[in-house]
Amino acid sequence: MTNRTLRIAVVGAGYWGPNLARNFSASPDWDLAAICDLDEDRARQVSDQVGHVPVVPSLTELLAADDLDAIAIATPAKTHFPIAMQALAAGKHVVVEKPLADSGSNGQAMVLEAAARGLILMADHTYCYTPAVLKIRDLIAEGELGDILFIDSVRINLGLIQPDVDVFWDLAPHDLSILDFVLPGGLHPTAVAAHGADPLGAGRSCIGYLALPLESGAIAHVHVNWLSPTKIRQMVIGGTKRTLVWDDLNPQQRLSVYDRGVDLGKQAAGRSDRRDATISYRLGDTWSPALPEREALSTMASEFASSIRTGQPSRTDGEAGRRVLAVLEAATRSLSQSGSAVPLGDKEREMEAAR
C-alpha cells in the first residue's frame, strides 16, 4: 500500500472523541476528514478545536465517502458493534475505543467480519501505548524479567460510581488490556474468579478482585475499587530473573526493575526432601529506565496507520479487544456464582477454531 496520508473520521464527539480528533489531526500519517455525531453542536465544538474539519451528522453519509480510509469510534459501548459492522461493510478500517464491544460474541463477530473483508480492526487500548507500558512489553519480550511468575495490579481511587456498569467493566479493562499487551502471546487465563462487593447498596459492585490463573502456573490478580480515599495505580510483575514495579503516579520513577528474587535450585530425582537446601535469595541492584515523553494516543494513531499500510495486525488488534471481553464476561459469570472459577479454555478454543 502506498505511503499517502490516510483519511479518517472520528465518530462520537463526547468524552473521548475530542482526544482522538486532536491526535489524528496532529498526526503526520493522517488527515482528519470529518467529525460525525448526531449532536451537531457538540461535533462542531470538536471541529473548531482542530481547525474546522467538516461535521457530518449522518454515519451513512460519512461512510459513503470513497476517499475515507478509516473511522475511529468513540460512542457509547452499546453502539460499537452496529457502527463498526456498518463501517466494515462499507470497506473502512476501524479503531474502537475500549471496550471493543458490549459482549464477547459481538466482539467476535467484529473480528470475523474484519478478517473476512481484509480490513484492519484495532482496539484503542490507550494505556498500552504509554511509554511505560511500551517499555514493560519490551523488557518482557527481551527476556529481562525471565519467565513471568505473577502479576498484581491495583487500580483504586475515589471514583465515580457509574450508572450502568460495575467497577469491573469500568476499570478492569485498563488492567486486562495491559496484561494482554505485555504478556507474550496475550492474556490467556485458564479461568477467572471474581469477588465483588456492593456494601453501599449502589446496585453494582463498587469493589472488585479478579484472580486469573495462567497456564504456566503463574497468577495474575487485579484489584479495582471506587471507594478508596487514596489513589493507587500500581502493577508488580514478578519474573524468574527480575521483578518490575510500575507506579503510574510517581512521575519521577514510574518503572523500577529489581534484581531481587528467589531462586530454587534443580533437584536430583528422588531428592525432593532436600529441596529447601537449594533456595537462594538475590538482593541485587534496582534500575529505573528513563522513559520518553510522548502522548499515548499519538503512538496509537501511528500504529493504526502502520497496520493499515502493512496489513499486519496492530499490537492491540480486534483479537486483543475480544480477549479482554472474554475475561470480563467470565468475571460477570463468576460473580453470579459466588466467585467460582469460570474456566476460559473451552470457549476460547471454540473461538479460536471459528477463526
Pick the binder of a copy of itself from 50, 112, 165, 341 (CB under 8 A): 341
Q: What is the nearest approach in angstroms of a copy of itself to the Cβ of residue 255? A: 10
Amino acid at 307: S
CA 114, CA 74: separation in Å to the nearest integer?
Answer: 18
Q: Secondary structure of 199-226 in the HEC alphabet?
A: CCCCCCCCEEEEEEEECCCCEEEEEEEC
- Binding flag, residue 264, a copy of itself (CB under 8 A): yes
Amino acid at 164: D
DSSP string, 22-40: HHHHH-TTEEEEEEE-SSH
CA 205 to chain CA mean position, Å = 21
Which grid coordinates belong to 211? 484472580
Pick the binder of a copy of itself from 191, 248, 295, 302 (CB under 8 A): 191
Q: Which is nearer to a copy of itself, 244 or 351 (CB)?
A: 244
Q: Is 255 helix (H, G, I), strand (E, B) or coil?
A: strand
- Binding flag, residue 213, a copy of itself (CB under 8 A): yes
Q: Which is nearer to a copy of itself, 5 or 267 (CB)?
A: 267
Site residues (CB under 8 A) for a copy of itself, limited to 281-310: 281, 283-290
Q: What is the nearest approach in angstroms of a copy of itself to the Cβ of residue 176? A: 17
CA 347, CA 108: separation in Å to the nearest integer?
Answer: 12
Q: Is the Cα dihedral 296, 301, 307, 313 positive or negative?
A: positive
Q: Which is nearer to a copy of itself, 216 or 310 (CB)?
A: 216
- Binding flag, residue 144, a copy of itself (CB under 8 A): no
CA 76, CA 295: separation in Å to the nearest integer?
Answer: 23
Pick the binder of a copy of itself from 42, 117, 221, 241 (CB under 8 A): 221
- Binding flag, residue 198, a copy of itself (CB under 8 A): yes
Which grid coordinates belong to 5? 496520508
- Which residues make up the interface to a copy of itself (CB under 8 A)? 147-150, 152, 156, 158, 161, 163, 191, 193, 195-203, 206-207, 209, 211, 213, 216-219, 221, 223, 225-231, 236, 238, 240, 243, 245, 252-253, 256, 258-262, 264, 272, 275-276, 279, 281, 283-290, 338-341
